[in-house]
Structure 1
Amino acid sequence: LWLSTADETRSAALPISSGDKLCSAEDCIPGTGVYLRHGYIYSSLAGYVLRKNEGEELPVISVVRETETQLLPDVGAIVTCKVTSINPRFAKVHILYVGSTPLKDRFRGTIRKEDVRATEKDKVETYKSFRPGDIVLAKVISLGDVQSNYLLTTAENELGVVVAHSEAGAQMVPISWCEMQCPLTHAKEFRKVARVQPEYLQA
């Protein structure tokens, strides 16, 4: 039995032991916690099997110890993410934390233009909301699939940009819900600023 998420499947079977045969090398690519011998992939430690599709033709198979089985982003979870790229329709992010728990694996997410804020959605401009490198608090609204990644929203007042750096390299200070200012040059930049609640602060 396999439990599926956006791009990862985790074995729901009993834990396996070191030396157990997992599959043929024709079916999977060996990852961490496994080794290849005579055309088959074996576990090199006791734990749980993890299969992950990383854009390759074959899934990557790994074994993780029970203590390493991690929390996965789920619908309704508050996540901390880093913006990697933007275009007029959406921002692409890497999810770093679920709540206060850091993620070992990299999960990708998308914040669509219509999910940036709750009001005047038709007037949202992505480049006035986020920039690459920004740290953003968001909520998971859909697990999506391998192509579309996790869908996230920053529509609530408590969600949005929490850390951003100016062109001068300084960490900017929020001055309103839609602007941040560089303390060095005093230049202002547009952002969808989060009104951060104490329980979400991971700094």
Structure 2
Amino acid sequence: MQEREEAEELVTPGEVLGKGSQLKAGRGAYFLPQNGTVYASLTGRRSLIPPSPLSSDQRPTVEVTGHSAHGAIPEPGSIVIARVTKVMARMASADIMCVGPKSVREKFTGIIRQQDVRATEIDKVDMHSSFRPGDIVRALVLSLGDARAYFLSTAKNELGVVSAESAAGATMVPMSWTEMQCPLTGQIEQRKVAKVGGQA
């Protein structure tokens, strides 16, 4: 398998690995149908695996093998848990901590854009009353955006803030899909709350 070794090079998430017409996406890579391009989804070594001589598809498979033990990798369509780090007028950024039930081992940044916060009245979304730094959110990975960040969406009812700390330092209780309350002070704060079972 020496041809696999020679093709190895270090790549980072979002790096273009090639065209889907010439390569198949293997582990650590994904294919974006919109532009027919294969991208890396993690930091690691790129390697090409030759096609089986019996396969009708003679494109080699490109894989990216992580340089550390494999943690979970966000992929378009996966549900992630992320901690909000910064809230701006048109978007919020967050550090992705878990993909599904598995924790991540590398740093992945997520961006929640204003248009991806909720499904209705998108033009009225106020980022500062949807999220605050430190909030834990459940979100859907839409795609790998630019600058090595994943675009996240909280537009479904079950997505949004799952845990938030109030100004008094207590874990807040969801009151509705737009409000959470501090159990210590009774103070109500605005959030884009993830729907939990039995909640209105």
Question: If the length of structure 1 is used for normalisation, what is the TM-score?
Answer: 0.68
- Written as runs of structure 1 = structure 2, the 5 A alignment for 1:1-203 is 1=7, 5-6=13-14, 8-13=42-47, 50=66, 63-64=67-68, 68-145=69-146, 147=147, 149-196=149-196
Q: Residue 58 of structure 1 corresponds to which residue in structure 2? A: none
Q: CA deviation at 1:170?
A: 0.5
Q: Is the 8 A contact 2:179 2:190 kept in 1?
A: yes
> Equivalent residue of 2:139, what SS?
strand
Identical aligned residues as a percent: 49
Q: CA deviation at 1:132?
A: 0.2
Alpha-carbon distance in structure 2 between the residues aligned to 1:13 and 1:148:
21
Please tell me the residue identity of whatever aligns with 1:128. Answer: S
> Equivalent residue of 2:134, what SS?
coil
| Runs (4+) off by over 3 Å | 1-4
Gaps of 5+ in 2: 1-6, 16-41, 49-63
Q: Is the 8 A contact 2:70 2:105 kept in 1?
A: no
Q: CA deviation at 1:190?
A: 0.2
Alpha-carbon distance in structure 1 between the residues aligned to 2:101 and 2:170:
25
> Equivalent residue of 1:122, what SS?
helix
Q: Residue 38 of structure 1 corresponds to which residue in structure 2? A: none
Q: CA deviation at 1:49?
A: 6.0
Q: Is the 8 A contact 1:159 1:196 kept in 2?
A: no
How many corresponding residue pairs?
148
Q: Superposition RMSD on alpha carbons, in Å? A: 2.1
